[in-house]
Structure 1
Amino acid sequence: MYEPVSFGREEDTTQHNTIQQDRLGCWVVMAESVDLDRAIVQWLEWDKNPQTLAEVRRLNCDGDIDQLRECFGSRMRFGTAGMRSTMGPGFSRINDLTIIQTTQGLCRCLEKSFSDIKDRGVVIGFDARAHPPSGSSSKRFARLAATVLASQGIPIYLFSRITPTPLVPFTVSQLKLCAGIMVTASHNPKQDNGYKVYWSNGAQIISPHDKEIAKAIEENLEPWSESWNDKLVDNSSLIKDPYEDMKSKYLECLQKHCFNRDINKETKLKFVHTSVHGVGHEFVQAALASFNFTNLLAVPEQKDPDPEFPTVKYPNPEEGKDVLTLSFALADKEGATVILANDPDADRLAVAEKQERGEWKVFSGNELGALLGWWIFTCWKKQNKEPSSLKKTYMLSSTVSSKILQAIALKEGFHFEETLTGFKWMGNKAKELIDKGNTVLFAFEEAIGYMSTEFVLDKDGVSAAAIVAEMASYLATKNTNLTQQLKAIYEEYGYHLSKASYFICHKPEIISQIFQNLRNYNETNQYPKTCGSFAVSDIRDLTTGYDSSQPDKKAVLPTSSSSQMITFTFKNGCVATMRTSGTEPKVKYYTELCAPPGNSDFEKLKEELNDLVNALVEHFFQPDKNGLTSQPT
């Protein structure tokens, strides 16, 4: 979510360090760059957090140039919907001071954008993350953000308790606020945190708002006189707690999407839920109760928030079975057949189902997207008998996600639209369509993110959990299950086999070189025409704006030179996209092979996709040559 920007010169000047005495009387080896030196001095003047200030003083006194460079050699930049980084001292990390600086910039930007900002206000939510060594926590950051805004006379709706991320955009829309802030790093490792911003339309910010906020941050780096005075949060009449009202309103809106209340109450199915030490437990329990379910079991070791995430290596259910070990054990013990798993901020959902032979199937994001798309359309169709309403009905997915919704749309008569990767694009596109009088039934991305309602214009793992449970409950009355229904969807609309994974790479220059090699394949100044034995038919490069399938060779979707993304369409019908992650040191790939309905040779299709993925890895990624660390698919 952030892009480092160098403070100082690029050249190595390590031989030009100078010894000088700082204002604390410590003799230190100051950083080689004048700009780096200035950044450290600014920190010592501006920071009022005892832990982070003491840590910087220690690094100065120890002359720890490497650590000082790591903390101060770059500044977090406000980027995709906000920022995300490690908690700790320095301008490259998230801490009290960088939260204050970011909020000051956001404040000035909001004041310019909304003349009625002091009437409407901003909502702020937070998850359960904490970092004791730096005195940091999501709650502390939320209080400081509220302090900055309230000090300028802006009304603040500050949640008094941890909340799922979806409740913030929900509150923006319900109360018609100017913006929303959510302090969370979602499923990132425990040492990370983030600052996510929603605009007045209830969707994540996109350009030009992100650029305007970034500029305003740079213009308001020095803390204002009241920015550190978080006692304002306890004493100001501008601060209100929307927790109970918004929770009740959210559940009230969600109940309108329940279609089989009696079936849900009588179902014999048992469900297991894990919040993976995050914020989801209370809300998912309430959501399923609002759908009349009475048989939801919580994984006891993971239901309470814990910023250490002690039972998992990574708190990300997208990783699959490794994160669900305790869920499997509880489900096997209690006879449950469906597992619902949220990530720590409850905006994503993973689902697993027990198979006939006793093993567990963890649905991919694309598979669950197919099931939810089918189910939501089926329920909508039962309520909307007028065929003409299809003309104003839409579903969305990101460009790296399965095209199964497109196949369903072509057969059923509603509209499908593709967006760039990320819910900031889908949320804004959904709002644009809704404002024109259309209905957006569903949107999803393969990274287990689902927008199953129109009242939250972002991915929402709470509503998705309730809707998946109801779908499973209904299917049980037809003597079938999620796995069998997925097969039925593919048989009716065509098989959509997908395979996605990623490589870890901590060297940005290597990742850049991988993509530049693809644009100058085998030093030919051309993109590759083959990948092993697979012929390439079209190429779309959303970094440069090139698309060979278009008459003018220009891409239709927006482009960005700051990120890498190339899509290859092969003559066998497979589509493969390679892209960089915006939040992690990863280079990712997504592949899908589509076959028309009636093609029942599933194993042959699966083998063909596997062969193509192997060729993609061998010829395009070249992991051994580039020193990439592979991950299991």
Structure 2
Amino acid sequence: VCLRLAKLTAAVLLSRDVPVHLFSSFIPTPYVPYAVKKLGAAAGVMITASHNPKEDNGYKVYWCNGAQITSLHDKEILRCIEEQLEPWSASCWDVGLVDRCSLRTDPLTQINSCYMDELASLCFHRDLNSSSPLKFVHSSFHGVGHAFVQQAFRVFGFPPPIAVPEQKDPDPNFSSVRCPNPEEGESVLELSLLLAERENARVVLATDPDADRLAVAEKSDGCGWKVFTGNELAALLGWWMFFTWKENHSEPADARSIYMLATTVSSKILQAFARIEGFHFEETLPGFKWVGNRIHELSQTGSRVIFSFEESIGFLCGDTVLDKDGVSSAAVVAEMAAYLHNKHLSLSQQLHNIYQTYGYHLSKTSYVVCNDPPTIQRIFSRIRNFDGSGSYPKTCGGVQIVHVRDVTTGYDSSQPDLRSVLPVSRSSHMITFTLQNGIVATLRTSGTEPKIKYYTEFCAVPGQSEVSTLEEELRKVTAALVDEFLEPEKNNLIRRLV
């Protein structure tokens, strides 16, 4: 179906004499924004449902800057659709144009070659990689990542990772997993972990079906497997990207020209890095489209973004692609793991070191499913009028709420003018509570799935190391956030299966 929709999109453009670069085979999603910039295209389209259910399909649009379109462009596209509900002519549906029109080219070889050449700029320890005894397992989750991750490993000097055979080839039915989303953790990584045990591999890498996101698990000494959350991986990758950048820039003043970015529902760990190390940190609205466009804006002023992430295992090392990229992230994680292994450190041990230096950042992220849109509206309306008309909740789990930010309405009680610094986003609900004990909690609706997502984080100061106490406080607030504000049983919400 993806191929047919891609050919149909190309045929519509070719029928109006617009030159089209149509890839001849499956590619990772980040190849499209990369190609838009590399080829100077006016726009890019990726047909993918990514990790969503097999019945779904998706149409992802990039603008000429190589970043996903934001609300100005999508409104204009919608207006054009509504004005032109009848196809121009029968030739619009003629997918045969794709094979016979001279305006159609296949950029696969050129783009793949250029991408891999530029990927080498993220590799700093090739000799160490080639001699590392570490073994890696990779699953492409029945998607497109296999061949590209294998190539990326070669670029970094590694032998190829051990592929999970049942999951290495594209399969639209996702036959071996109950859910094709590696973010779900150990329950969907079963085949990868079993193979890693058999092969004595310490690190498992899993790209999602369209290879723009990455999950990582590490074998712990004597206690099973540690599957890293997106926030934990971001702490490791953020540390690594700054560490390797610093190795190549001796002047501390240089740090003032570099940035790291994260979406607002993601961990604030990069903010803690920035505070101590002297570089810039910025937040964007949820969704990598905001990150990609901000990277582009900063590049216009001579600033460089060296790392960006969103908590849902979306990472971007460097700024070559203006979207999250599971292929490059897999190679970078492998190099980081090999470097640490050479220093007799695991990824988990280094994460602990990072928290010791910059402060523990403990987070919980999950969701409830709600298949009834009016119920979602009712839930958020109740929150906005919790203590009377226009009055938000004042406590959560017995802890006082000191600030409320509602991006949907543009309200932020922490600002002098009570207006949110982040752009207003009326298309979805998102409310953030800052509690007196330092916990930050957010409730938001998903843009692509029938879910209400929730995020909580405890940001401790460096030296505060009573982790079990912090975890218990975070657990209590998270449970109260869900039970008091979402009322799952009353509203027939389905809690996430862990």
TM-score range, shorter chain: over 0.9
Aligned partners of 1:357, 1:295: CA distance in 2, in Å? 27
Q: Map 1:307-346; keep pairs closer than 5 Å.
A: 307-346=172-211
In the superposition, relative to structure 1, how do residues 524 and 212 fare at CA in structure 2: closer, same or farther (>3 Å)? closer
Q: Map 1:240-251; keep pairs closer than 5 Å.
A: 240-251=105-116
2:396 is aligned, of 516, 528, 531, to 531
Q: Which residue of 2 aligns with 1:347?
A: 212
Q: Which residue of 2 aligns with 1:306?
A: 171
Aligned partners of 1:221, 1:229: CA distance in 2, in Å? 18
Secondary structure of 2:453's aligned partner: strand
Contact residue 384 and residue 391 of structure 2 kept, 8 A: yes
Q: Map 1:523-602; keep pairs closer than 5 Å.
A: 523=388, 525-602=390-467
Q: Map 1:12-411; keep pairs closer than 5 Å.
A: 137-225=1-89, 226-411=91-276
- Letter of the structure 1 residue corresponding to residue 435 of structure 2: F
Deviations 1:379-402 (A, max 9, x none): 000011122221110000000000
- Letter of the structure 1 residue corresponding to residue 307 of structure 2: F
* Aligned-residue offset at 1:295: 4.8
Aligned partners of 2:292, 2:442: CA distance in 1, in Å? 22
Aligned partners of 1:385, 1:560: CA distance in 2, in Å? 41
Secondary structure of 1:208's aligned partner: helix
Calculate the aligned-residue CA RMSD, in Å: 0.9
Aligned partners of 1:167, 1:581: CA distance in 2, in Å? 25
* Aligned-residue offset at 1:524: 5.0
Q: Which residue of 2 aligns with 1:627?
A: 492
Aligned partners of 1:272, 1:445: CA distance in 2, in Å? 24
Aligned partners of 1:530, 1:486: CA distance in 2, in Å? 32
Q: Map 1:504-515; keep pairs closer than 5 Å.
A: 504-515=369-380
Contact residue 358 and residue 461 of structure 2 kept, 8 A: yes
Hey, which bits of structure 1, 4+ residues long, moved more than 6 A? none
Aligned partners of 1:562, 1:484: CA distance in 2, in Å? 41
Contact residue 269 and residue 295 of structure 1 kept, 8 A: no
* Aligned-residue offset at 1:358: 4.4
* Aligned-residue offset at 1:292: 0.6
Q: Which residue of 1 aligns with 2:356?
A: 491
The TM-score with structure 2 as length reference comes to: 0.99
The TM-score with structure 1 as length reference comes to: 0.78
- Letter of the structure 2 residue corresponding to residue 203 of structure 1: A
Aligned partners of 2:399, 2:476: CA distance in 1, in Å? 9
Contact residue 413 and residue 419 of structure 2 kept, 8 A: yes
- Letter of the structure 2 residue corresponding to residue 150 of structure 1: L
Aligned partners of 1:533, 1:576: CA distance in 2, in Å? 14
Paired residues, what number? 497
Secondary structure of 2:94's aligned partner: coil
Secondary structure of 2:27's aligned partner: coil
Contact residue 270 and residue 295 of structure 1 kept, 8 A: no
Aligned partners of 2:152, 2:426: CA distance in 1, in Å? 41
* Aligned-residue offset at 1:347: 0.2
Secondary structure of 1:604's aligned partner: helix
Aligned partners of 1:604, 1:360: CA distance in 2, in Å? 24
Contact residue 272 and residue 298 of structure 1 kept, 8 A: yes
Aligned partners of 2:85, 2:301: CA distance in 1, in Å? 40
* Aligned-residue offset at 1:614: 1.2
Secondary structure of 1:356's aligned partner: coil
Secondary structure of 2:58's aligned partner: strand
Aligned partners of 1:632, 1:521: CA distance in 2, in Å? 29
Question: Any unmatched runs of 5+ in structure 1?
Answer: 1-136
Aligned partners of 2:38, 2:30: CA distance in 1, in Å? 12
Aligned partners of 2:318, 2:166: CA distance in 1, in Å? 31
Contact residue 405 and residue 412 of structure 2 kept, 8 A: yes
- Letter of the structure 1 residue corresponding to residue 237 of structure 2: L
Aligned partners of 1:562, 1:166: CA distance in 2, in Å? 25
Aligned partners of 2:152, 2:478: CA distance in 1, in Å? 39
Aligned partners of 1:453, 1:522: CA distance in 2, in Å? 46
* Aligned-residue offset at 1:533: 1.0
Q: Map 1:419-434; keep pairs closer than 5 Å.
A: 419-434=284-299
Deviations 1:271-304 (A, max 9, x none): 0000000000000000011101015100000001
- Letter of the structure 2 residue corresponding to residue 249 of structure 1: C
2:309 is aligned, of 444, 461, 470, to 444
* Aligned-residue offset at 1:522: 4.3
Question: Any unmatched runs of 5+ in structure 2?
Answer: none
Contact residue 154 and residue 160 of structure 2 kept, 8 A: no
Aligned partners of 1:289, 1:170: CA distance in 2, in Å? 20
Aligned partners of 2:291, 2:390: CA distance in 1, in Å? 34
Contact residue 397 and residue 476 of structure 2 kept, 8 A: no
- Percent identity over paired residues: 58
1:518 correspondence with 2:380: no
Tell which has more relative contact order, 1 or 2 (C-alpha 8 A, sep 6+). Answer: 2
* Aligned-residue offset at 1:618: 1.6
- Letter of the structure 2 residue corresponding to residue 178 of structure 1: A
Aligned partners of 2:278, 2:396: CA distance in 1, in Å? 36
* Aligned-residue offset at 1:218: 1.0
2:327 is aligned, of 455, 458, 462, to 462
Secondary structure of 1:623's aligned partner: coil
* Aligned-residue offset at 1:617: 1.5
Aligned partners of 1:524, 1:571: CA distance in 2, in Å? 23
Aligned partners of 2:13, 2:47: CA distance in 1, in Å? 15
Q: Which structure has the larger Rg? A: 1
